[in-house]
Amino acid sequence: MTDDVLATARAAVETGPLCDPCLGRLVAERSFGLTNRERGRSLRVAVALADDVPVGDIEPDDSCWVCEGESTVERVTEWAERGAYALEEYEFDTFQVGTRVPPLFEENDRLLREDIGLDPAAGEQLKSELNREVGKRFGRETGAEVDFGRPDVQVTIHPGDDSLDVRVNSAFVYGRYRKLEREIPQTEWPCSDCNGTGLDRGEVCPVCDGSGYRYETSVEQLTAPVVRDTMGGKSATFHGAGREDVDARMLERGRPFVIEVERPRTRTVDTDRLQADINGFADGAVEVDDVHLVSYEMVERVKELDASKTYRMPVEFEESVEADAFDAALDELRGATIEQRTPTRVDHRRADIVRTREVYDIEGQLVTDDSTGDSGTTTDHSGTAAGDPRTATGATVELHGEGGLYVKELVSGDEGRTEPSLAGLLGVEAVVTALDVVDVRGEDNPFLVAEYVRDSGEDGGSASPSWE
């Protein structure tokens, strides 16, 4: 075995000027705990001893025909320092180094092994050597740790043209939002008449009054800019666990969301203060809580959440409804499987198909005819309003249903496109006059576990976010 190694070394140094790292890479699988540079130097000394020749006779000159000097300590150090300089404005804890090896170098690697009778895959390739050695020095330079999954930053070196580029991966902030005012969409809603430009045929768009938006603001616009500015990011994207209608409020525990900050300069933030800053900026229209730093996996967890939802809604009937008939209709809907053809209000942007969704629970109470506001005056549990006949033209309904259930159409029937429906069972036209989402819940998913929560710094956000 020793003779084989020495024979490999002799043959390699005879191919031309070869640096110690390129020589050592040929036997990289031998003797753990050594660098390829140490392996190469040891092989060179061993050959000199075995052949009884001065080691200087087989020393490389200033060049290496395989890597052309890219493996030298000076060059590796230079790459690491250039990477650290390019990222000096960014805070990061983890990194990864990559190399775009020029085809010429890859061909040299192949020819070296071919010339000395080694398998092309023997030892270690130049790319792996540079990634590791530059990475080790970059880590010492910056104090960061290598991460082969999804690091905070990635440095890619290009020996072929002596260039280097860096990628700063996004940071992620999780929370739950409550939308306390109506007519606020979840995300930015550009005006469709002017394509978001604010101009229509060169003049101020009459639909959006030149703002470029169909609605003045959104949950995204009231939250994402604060997170972006706090983390010094280039931009921020809002990801929600579903969305409620523009005219619906999101109350009580709120809806989960993640804000993705692109190219953040700061990753360690006080999430308690960030939460307070968001709520101050939103000025009562939106509130957030449970704010934490999380890892990138949380975006898909939130976006793909199979969630059920609970709604509360006042309902108006075209004519008076008797309490017994109302209670019977609710009993019929409770636990029912609902077939819904795509509602007329959204069929211009969604495929016209029939969906089936479950109603897990539904409760309701008739309300007095003179009730006003979003909540109205409710009846007692039996359905009879105090001092009111057992008939009414209004009600409040609270419903817990499967995600994707169109609750407005469950009430109105949508001209027969939803079966069964409250209106259809009562034989009276019914309409939801306002809608509140009061809960968004994972059906069989505890959602957050510890590995998705990142340390947010010294002061903020010690508890894990909750799903259930």
State the pLDDT at residue 54.
Answer: 79
pLDDT at 223 over 90: yes
Overall average pLDDT of the 267-279 stretch = 97
| CB neighbourhood size of 346 (10 A) | 11
Q: What is the pLDDT, as a whole number, of residue 53?
A: 80
Catalytic residue among 93, 200, 245, 361: 245
DSSP codes joined into one string, 326-348? HHHHHHHHTTPEEEEEPPTTTTT
**Residue 117: other Cβ atoms inside 10 A:** 10
User: Which position has the token pair 């040891």?
Assistant: 42
Average pLDDT over residues 31-36: 88
Average confidence (pLDDT) over 30-36: 87
In this predicted structure, which of 175-184, 284-293, 433-442 has the lowest mean pLDDT?
A: 433-442
Q: Is 245 a catalytic residue?
A: yes
What confidence score (pLDDT) does residue 378 get?
Answer: 38
Map out the domains of the chain with their CATH numbers: 2-168 (3.30.2300.10), 171-305 (3.30.70.2510), 307-442 (3.30.70.3190)
Residue 57 has a pLDDT of: 66
DSSP line for 429-449? -EEE--EEEEEEEESS-----
Percentage of residues in the chain with pLDDT exceeding 70?
88
What pLDDT score was predicted for residue 195? 81
What pLDDT is stored for residue 33 in this prediction? 86
pLDDT value for 62: 63
pTM for the model: 0.82
Task: State the average pLDDT over residues 135-163.
Answer: 96
Nearest to 321 by CA among 385, 256, 257: 385
- Range of lowest pLDDT (118-132, 144-158, 347-361): 347-361
Model confidence over 358-380: pLDDT tens digits? 999 999 999 975 543 454 433 33
Percent of the chain with pLDDT over 90: 69
The pLDDT, as a whole number, for residue 114 is 94
Q: What is the pLDDT of residue 375?
A: 44
Averaged pLDDT for residues 18-24: 93
Question: 195-218, pLDDT tens digit by residue?
Answer: 878 887 778 888 888 888 888 899
Q: Report the mean per-residue pLDDT for the chain.
A: 87
* The pLDDT of residue 451 is above 60: no
Q: What is the average per-residue pLDDT within 347-368? A: 89
Residues paired with 391 in a beta bridge: 322
Q: What is the per-residue pLDDT across 45-62, written as a single tens digit (0 to 9) for each?
A: 888 888 888 777 667 666
Let me know the angle formed at the C-alpha of 64 by 19 and 46, rounded to the nearest 5 degrees.
Answer: 30
Instruction: Please report the pLDDT score of residue 444 as a whole number.
Output: 41
